[in-house]
Amino acid sequence: MSLWAFLEKQRANRIAMVLEEYKPVVHVDIGCGKNKMILKASTAKNKIGFDPIFGTGIKKTIPLESSSADFVSMTAVLEHLEYPLDVLLECQRILKKGGVLYLTVPNYLAEPFIKIFFKDYGHIFLFGRAQLLGLFSKLEKMKLVSYKRFQFGLNQEVVLVKE
Tens-of-pLDDT digits for all 163 residues of the chain? 776 677 677 777 888 889 999 999 999 999 887 778 889 889 999 999 988 655 455 667 888 999 999 999 998 888 878 889 999 999 999 999 999 999 988 875 656 555 555 565 566 767 889 999 999 999 999 999 999 987 665 789 999 999 9
Check if CATH label 3.40.50.150 holds for domain 3-162.
yes
State the pTM of this model.
0.85
Res 49: pLDDT: 92
Res 126: pLDDT: 78
Phi, psi of 36 (to 5 degrees): 50, 45
Distance CA 36, CA 29 (A): 8
Residues 41-48: contacts with CB within 8 Å, 24+ apart? Answer: 41/12, 41/15, 41/16, 42/71, 43/19, 44/19, 44/70, 44/71
Going by the DSSP 8-state scheme, the letter that residue 108 receives in this structure is G
Distance CA 113, CA 39 (A): 28
